[in-house]
Structure 1
Amino acid sequence: MFIVMSLGGSILAGDLDAARFKTYAETITKIAEKHKLLLVVGGGVYARRYIEAARDIGADEVTGDFIGIDVTRINAKLLISALGKSAYPEVPTNYNEAAVAAESGKIVVMGGVLPGQTTDAVSAALSEYLGADLFLIPTSVDGIYSADPNVDKNAVKFKTMTSADLVKMSGETSLKAGSKSPIDPIACKLIERGGIRTIVLDGRNPENIFKIIEAEEKGPQKECDGTIITP
């Protein structure tokens, strides 16, 4: 399979723990033994801190976006370093560079691309552009819920949903971490447009990612530990 993964900065680089990068690298390398992989890494808490500092200084939002993109690319470079020779050595900075890198047979790791686009949106666009078989979104929650599961004890987890339902939900929520949908509206619309099979899962333990992919090798699952989004 060709797998595109949007790996949130909060679960990979939340505390800049080198051991965490190494643990993810081990799992990613194991997955890459059977599958073609392209990862888009988020900025996490450090990107948000830099962006907030930029706002306090008086920078406009586009400048803040560029600063956030720079942080995502630093995180990507750290993961490339942890992956070693298994990884494509450079961080692609646009979709065409990512397409060229994907032909190398190496694990490709990149960050953000354009202001106004989250790394989820970049990942969704790449999934469509490069014809990925599977789009994975490991997050700090174990799927998509009817409400914030950290606040509402009655929140119901969706085992499956259609991309049309996802788009509808994305218009009804702020999309903050742990809210109804952990995916931003642009990414949701790209998932719907591209007809991309997508799974949102708990990525705090990288072994969860491996198990999901291992199950998908036998054919598309009807249910899993996360939320499956179907066309």
Structure 2
Amino acid sequence: MFIVMSLGGSILAGDLDSERFKTYADAILKISEKHQLLLVVGGGVYARKYIEVARGIGADEVTCDFIGIDVTRINAKLLISALGKAAYPEVPTNYNEAALAFESGKIVVMGGVLPGQTTDAVSAALSEYLGADLFLIPTSVDGIYSADPNVDKNAVKYKTLTGAELVRMSGETSLKAGSKSPIDPIACKLIDRSGIRTIVLDGRDPKNLPEIIEGEEKGPQKECSGTIITP
């Protein structure tokens, strides 16, 4: 099975702890024993800090996007180092480079690509472009909710959503550089268009990932610990 994973910077590099990178690398290596992996890593809190400074000195949003992309590529390089020889050694900087790296058979890790695209959007585009079997989005919550569960105690978690429902829910998401949201509108539209099976799950504990994938191997699950997005 070919799996694309959108790994948010806040999940992987929120505190820039080397042990966190090692723990995630261990989970990824375990998954790669049976499956081919391509990961797109986000910038997280440090990207947002750089972007805030850039805005403060008058940088436009495209420049802020490029700054955030640079941070995502640094995080990708750190994860490649943690994965060792199992990983493709370079960070692809565009979709064609990612496709070529994918042919190596190694774990491919990359960051952002273009201004205006979040980690999720890049991952969704690659899932469609390269024909992924499964698209995983580990986040800091255990799925998609009707509202922010950290703010609204009445927020309802969705066990399943269609791509069309996801697009409708994403309508009010900000597209500013460094925006923090469950899934951005562009990614939602790509997920809906491609029909690729997508799971939004709790990424705070990397050990969850092999378990989710093991369940998928036995046949597409009707339910899991996250939110399943179906065509």
Whole-Å separation in 2 of the counterparts to 1:152 and 1:62: 33
Give the aligned partner of residue 40 of structure 1.
40
1:21 aligns with 2:21: yes
Give the aligned partner of residue 63 of structure 2.
63
Q: Deviations over 1:7-65 (max 9, x none)?
A: 00001000000000000000000000000000000000000000111111111111110
Whole-Å separation in 2 of the counterparts to 1:54 and 1:147: 30
Helix, strand or coil at the partner of 1:201: strand
Whole-Å separation in 2 of the counterparts to 1:55 and 1:155: 33
Whole-Å separation in 1 of the counterparts to 2:75 and 2:151: 30
Give the aligned partner of residue 83 of structure 2.
83
Give the aligned partner of residue 186 of structure 1.
186
Q: Deviations over 1:169-224 (max 9, x none)?
A: 001455965x6xx0000000000111111000000000111110111010110000
For structure 1, list consecutive stretches of 5 or more residues without a partner in the other structure.
none
Whole-Å separation in 1 of the counterparts to 2:21 and 2:173: 31
Q: Which amino acid aligns with 2:142?
A: D
Helix, strand or coil at the partner of 1:206: coil
Give the aligned partner of residue 123 of structure 1.
123
Whole-Å separation in 1 of the counterparts to 2:78 and 2:110: 11
Q: Which amino acid aligns with 1:145?
A: Y
Q: Could you state the TM-score of these two structures normalised by the residue count of structure 2?
A: 0.97
Give the aligned partner of residue 205 of structure 2.
205
Helix, strand or coil at the partner of 2:93: coil
Q: Could you state the TM-score of these two structures normalised by the residue count of structure 1?
A: 0.97
Give the aligned partner of residue 136 of structure 2.
136
Q: Which amino acid aligns with 1:142?
A: D
For structure 2, list consecutive stretches of 5 or more residues without a partner in the other structure.
none
Whole-Å separation in 1 of the counterparts to 2:49 and 2:172: 26
Shift of 1:102: 0.5
Whole-Å separation in 1 of the counterparts to 2:173 and 2:44: 20
Percent of residue pairs bearing the same amino acid type: 87
Whole-Å separation in 2 of the counterparts to 1:155 and 1:171: 18
Mean Cα deviation higher: 29-38 or 149-158: 149-158
Whole-Å separation in 1 of the counterparts to 2:38 and 2:173: 29
Q: Which amino acid aligns with 2:57?
A: I
Q: Which amino acid aligns with 2:41?
A: V
Q: Deviations over 1:99-153 (max 9, x none)?
A: 0100101000000000000010000000000000000000001000111111221
Mean Cα deviation higher: 130-139 or 152-161: 152-161
Helix, strand or coil at the partner of 2:200: strand
Whole-Å separation in 1 of the counterparts to 2:216 and 2:83: 24
Helix, strand or coil at the partner of 2:221: coil
Q: Which amino acid aligns with 1:128?
A: E
Helix, strand or coil at the partner of 2:207: helix
Alpha carbons 2:199, 2:228 under 8 Å: kept: yes
Whole-Å separation in 2 of the counterparts to 1:43 and 1:172: 22
- Residues 216/191 of structure 1: CA separation in 2 closer, same or farther (3 Å cut): same
Give the aligned partner of residue 145 of structure 1.
145
